Each structure stands twice: as C-alpha cells, then as structure tokens.
A = this chain, B = another copy of it.
Amino acid sequence: MSSIEQIGEIRVAIDTVWVILSAVLVFVMNAGFGMLESGLCRSKNTVNIFSKNIVIFAIAGLTFWLVGFGLMFSDGSFFIGSTGWMLTGEDNSPAVAGQYSGIFSSLGWTAVPLYAKFLFQMVFVAASAHIVSGAVSERIKYFSFIAFSVVLVAIIYPITGHWIWGGGWLDSMGFVDFAGSTVVHSVGGWAALTGTIVLGPRMNKFTRDGRINPIPGHNQTMAALGMFLLWLGWFGFNAGSAMAAKPETIALVAVNTTLAAAAGVLSATIVSEILIGKPDLSMMVNGALAGLVAITAGCSAVNIGGAVITGLVAGILVVYFIIFLDRRRIDDPVGAIPVHLINGIWGTAAVGLLDREAGLFYGGGISLFITQLIGIAAVGVFVGGGTYVLWRLIGLVMGLRVSQEEEYVGLDISEHGMEAYPDASGPRGLYGKPGKF
C-alpha cells in the first residue's frame, strides 16, 4: 500500500475514533436527562421517569435503524428521504469528499464508515423525546407517552431533520444549524409545548384564585448531576457534529460550548438574584442548559465573544420564561420549554446575528438572519401542528392523563407498582400521601 493510501486510511481512523467517542458522550445525555427530570420532579414519579427514559432510548435506536435514518438522510425529495431502511442500499463510505457514491449523499461529506455516521446520528434522536418527557411528566399515562414518542422519533424528527441536515429544502436555502438547536431542541420543545397544553397543569399547581404553587423537585443533587452529565454530553453533541477530527473546528466548538454555558450560568444567577432575591440553584442549572442549547446552532460559526453573548442572553431568557410560563398557567415541571424551545429558537436566530462572516452584527447583511427565521417558523408550524394533532389522536385512542387518584398517589405506584425509595416509605405511614408525607 502506498503512503498516500496509508495516510487516507489513518485519516479515516482518527475521524472514526472522534465520531464514535463523540457519540459515546452524547449517549451520556440519556442519563443526564433522566437525572435532571426526576430530580426536578417528586419522588413518587421517579420510577416512571426512568422507565420512560430508558425505553425512549431503546425505541429511538431501533426505529432509527429501521426507518428513521433512511427518512432523514437518504436521497429522496426536498421533504423526506425515501430509502435506506435498516441501513441497506448502495454506500461506499468511508469515501473522501467528492468521491462518495450512494444513497446517503447528504452525509457524503464525512469520510467515516456508514455505521459511525449512523451511531452518531442515532444517539441524537432520543434527546427530542427526553425533552418532551420532562414537560409532560408527573401526569401522563405511561403507554400513551411511549406511543407519542414512537411517532416523534421514528417520523417527525427525521422529517424536519431531513429538511435541515438531510439535503432538504432548508439545507438548500443555507439554513445554519450546526449541531441541532432547531433539529433537536426546538423539535423537542415544540412537542413539549403542545403536550403540556393538551394535558393541562398538574393538580394543585395553579389554584382558582390565581395563586401559583411551587412544586419543588425531590432531589437537587440529582438535578445538578443531571446538568453536569448533559454538559458533558454536549461536548460530543456539538464538537462531534464536525463528524471529522478537524483540529481548528473542534477546538473552537468545544471552547464556545463551554463558555456559552458558563455565561448562561452567570446571567441566570444574577437575574435570579435580582428577580427572586436569592441565587437559585435550579436557575443556575437551567442557565447552563440554556446556554448549551442556544450555542448549539452556531457553535462553529461564531467566535468566543459571540458564544459568550449567546450564553448571556440565554441565561436571561430562561429565567424570564420560567416565570412567564408559570404566569400563563402553562405547567412545565422541569423548565423544558424555556430551556429547549425558547433557547433553541434564540440560538438559531443568533447565528443570523453573530456568524463571523454572514451575521448581521458582523456586516453580513440580513439574508442569513431571514433564512434562520424561516427555518424556525417552518419547524414550529410543522412540529407544533403535527404534535398537537398527535397528542389529540392518542388522547382519543388511549387516553393521555392518569386519574386524579393516580396522580395523587404517584405514577410509580399507579403505573409501575413500585416505589423508587421504599426504605423511606415507613415513616410517612400514610399510603395515599406518597411524596408529600
């Protein structure tokens, strides 16, 4: 083998190592979502939350193999891919750019084996359903949620994904979403919003006389650990989205990602000190996540200053919208909508402002910004509308919400017949008041 061929082989090896290890980091986010969501909910729903969490990832992985990857990345129309089920079909990966031939030409630019491409994309999918899980938690029927998730991860997510990353119409327009502020976070966020609206708030969250009852999460340690696991995964999520070990790109993306999150922590802490009069831990946690979601679209397009600005704004937005949703009597137990929807939108729009070359603030004109807004709106209409119909359909067929009795007792007992912390059940003594003994 010539040294040129050997060099080509080694480049594939290092790119593949990078992509696989990035995928492994993204995988950690499953644990992060589970810890965060259950930490911010009551102990009586912990088993239920992890039962959703684990099955979501299993279903997302298997359906993405069966149909999702084909729908999203295979050649087809501007709207949807039409082949590549179970990863079958022509594909000469790993082939260097320009020499790719096969049915997944939207991923032809990265010279790693097809299975590495699949693995990296597959670990993203479950995130969208985890986002929804948080917003509808503590009151949704287990199998109804699973049914919703199947459609979300197998069909809805791949369709908008095809638009943006799979060679679809937004891709062609030059819409920029490097790692998925819109593809992953807004999609999950819209489904979360329609879900919580259709379901309505948890019992006693809002009283008739207009008061808002805070329902604190049962374990702030879990929430904080969950946040760290998500942040950890985000290094893979964002820097891995280069899908090649390009030194300058992945170093910039990793720095931008971390400093945007740091900025989100800082602004959320300060705003919460000002608005609530104390440095609120859950606001710090959500500030970090808000910064991470917001920088996801532009992490390779902005410089460090732009990343810090993106994160600072995200931290402010998340605190404001957590309060705002409460006032609008929209019950989102974990803050999924302010974190993922609002900052998915903000981050996507911010690229139009802060892109080093094409951003409005950098003298790049308004064209990119408008493209970003079109993409945001299109995904909002499609996913918002589609999931609203889907929630209603599932409600008709299976029912969506557990009974008041079941909600009071907690989904762990009513849906799964077990408790998360049975050792702790003695002293409350009062069946029927689990979680608030």
Contacts and interface: CB of A to CB of B under 8 A. Distances in A.
Contacts of A217: 422
A251 interface: yes
Interface string A310-345: 000000000000000000000000000000000000
Interface string A406-437: 00000000011111111110111000000111
A229 interface: yes
A135 interface: no
A219 interface: yes
Interface stretch (A41-49, A201-209, A374-382): A41-49
Nearest to A421: B219
Nearest to A61: B262
A57 interface: yes
Interface in A36-75: 38, 42-43, 46-47, 50-51, 53-55, 57-59, 61-62, 65
A255 B119 CA distance: 6
Interface residues of A, number: 114
Contacts of A225: 31, 34-35
Interface stretch (A159-167, A277-285, A348-356, A383-391): A277-285
Interface stretch (A7-15, A172-180, A184-192, A359-367): A7-15
Interface string A231-255: 1100110010000011110111011
Nearest to A50: B224
Interface stretch (A101-109, A110-118, A392-400): A110-118
A34 B428 CA distance: 28
Which of A21, A113, A416, A437 neighbours the largest number of chain B CB atoms within 10 Å of its CB? Answer: A21
A12 B55 CA distance: 39
Contacts of A17: 14, 17-18, 21, 245, 250
Contact of A16 (B12, B245, B269, B285): B245
A24 interface: yes
A222 interface: yes
B14 A235 contact: no
A368 B269 CA distance: 47
Contact of A30 (B3, B23, B228, B239): B228
A288 B269 CA distance: 34
A434 to B, nearest CB: 9
A4 interface: yes
A426 B422 contact: no
13 contacts: A16-B245, A16-B247, A17-B17, A17-B18, A17-B245, A17-B250, A27-B235, A54-B288, A61-B259, A113-B248, A115-B254, A142-B279, A221-B420
Interface of A: 3-4, 6-7, 10-14, 16-18, 20-21, 23-25, 27-28, 30-31, 34-35, 38, 42-43, 46-47, 50-51, 53-55, 57-59, 61-62, 65, 86-87, 94, 112-116, 118-119, 122, 142-143, 216-222, 224-225, 227-229, 231-232, 235-236, 239, 245-248, 250-252, 254-255, 258-259, 261-263, 265-266, 269, 277-282, 284-285, 288, 304-305, 308, 415-424, 426-428, 435-437
Closest 7 A/B residue pairs (Cβ): A31-B228, A115-B251, A58-B265, A58-B262, A16-B247, A116-B251, A50-B224
